Amino acid sequence: MTDPVLNIPPRDKAEILAQALPYIRKFHGKTMVIKYGGNAMTDPALQQDFAEDVVLLKLVGINPVVVHGGGPQIETALKRLGKTGTFIQGMRVTDAETMEVVEWVLAGEVQQDIVGLINQAGGKAVGLTGRDGGLIRARKLRMMDQADPSKEHDVGQVGDIDSIDPSVVKALQDDQFIPVVSPIGFGEQNESYNINADVVAAKLATVLQAEKLLMLTNIPGVLDKDKNLLTELTMKEIDALIADGTISGGMIPKIAGAIDAAKSGVNAVHIIDGRVPHAMLLEILSDQAYGTMIRAR
């Protein structure tokens, strides 16, 4: 298969590089937290594109921090063990046996695949869980029934974040490493908790005072009623879209995390179509929009 980049005329290549220069200058030394999931995480060609993008960001002086999910991989592993996943209000019930599977899939298989891909692309990635350096302290998630708020569901070892200590992430960044974080926290009794990766990415971006939070998804971004991409949204516009049902289902947790991060000092949150090759790099280093940008104001 011919590499399309090789077919670009030299003048056009130079123009592309020149357009990237102001963005490289603007974001040099800044931290960007990337939530890695969806097709970008399972398609081999997109996996390689992602790894190359992360390495390039690091090489031009930007500090990427990767937070990954792994729902489909966990489901596959549970099926191999003959265990069926149980969900309450869209949340996986995580008993002790399931938590063991979650840990070895996320912190073992998935994390190490990502670390290997980044290292193969020329970077220096290091895998972390919430235990490493006391990164993510968590508590048991209290889930109230959507129909009856007086009723509480027990979803096992699913966690809510108590606090994040970014010291280990900052130390790795200072030594030119690329941190790859699995969304696993630990509690007061050293128990493990499975935490939503979108929530971890948003909170980590806030604590690190990141320039951007980039969330790779399986959709083009936030769409209006006519399925047109909304390239930029304010808080007021998001409230209206949720009220009229335009934003619903699985997009709501992503939007909630994006809003929290934007309100807490992250300059911009981008919900990006991870199915587009190099979409993350194009979003950061060009004028072209490959998703929806959310700002606090």
The answer to the question of whether 134 is labelled as a binding residue is no
C-alpha to C-alpha distance for 292 and 237, rounded to whole angstroms = 12
Q: State the residue for tokens 């190490």.
A: 112
Report the CATH number that the domain containing residue 84 is assigned in CATH: 3.40.1160.10
pLDDT at position 1 is 41
Is the dihedral angle over the CA atoms 246, 203, 185, 129 positive or is it negative? positive
C-alpha to C-alpha distance for 10 and 3, rounded to whole angstroms = 15
pLDDT surpassing 50 at residue 4: no
Q: Domain span at residue 141?
A: 30-218+275-287
29 — pLDDT class (breaks 50, 70, 90): very high
**Residue 191 within a domain:** yes
Averaged pLDDT for residues 152-157: 89
**Residue 241 within a domain:** no
Q: Mean pLDDT, the chain, as a whole number?
A: 88
The answer to the question of whether 194 is labelled as a binding residue is yes
- The total number of structural domains in the chain stands at 1
pLDDT at position 144 is 86
pLDDT surpassing 80 at residue 6: no
**Residue 12 within a domain:** no
pLDDT digits (tens, 9 = 90+) for 230-255: 888 888 888 888 888 888 766 777 78
pLDDT surpassing 80 at residue 39: no
pLDDT surpassing 90 at residue 274: no
pLDDT at position 25 is 93
pLDDT at position 249 is 67
Identify which has the larger pLDDT, 135 or 291.
Answer: 135
C-alpha to C-alpha distance for 113 and 128, rounded to whole angstroms = 13
C-alpha to C-alpha distance for 211 and 99, rounded to whole angstroms = 33
C-alpha to C-alpha distance for 143 and 151, rounded to whole angstroms = 9
pLDDT digits (tens, 9 = 90+) for 156-202: 999 999 999 999 999 999 889 999 999 999 999 999 999 999 999 99
Identify which has the larger pLDDT, 246 or 28.
Answer: 28
pLDDT at position 234 is 82
For 100-117, b where at least 16 C-beta lie within 10 A, e where not — what string? ebbbebbbeebbebbbeb
pLDDT at position 140 is 94
Closest CA to 32 of 205, 203, 291, 180: 205
The answer to the question of whether 71 is labelled as a binding residue is yes
**Residue 208 within a domain:** yes
- Give residue 154's identity as a one-letter amino acid code: D
**Residue 69 within a domain:** yes
**Residue 132 within a domain:** yes
**Residue 14 within a domain:** no
**Residue 267 within a domain:** no
Phi, psi of 253 (to 5 degrees): -60, -40
**Six-digit token pair at 215?**
């969330």
DSSP state letters, 8-73: S-HHHHHHHHHHHHHHHHHHTT-EEEEEE-GGGGTSHHHHHHHHHHHHHHHHTT-EEEEEE--HHH
The answer to the question of whether 249 is labelled as a binding residue is no
Averaged pLDDT for residues 269-293: 86
pTM of the model: 0.90
Portion of the chain with pLDDT greater than 90, in percent: 48
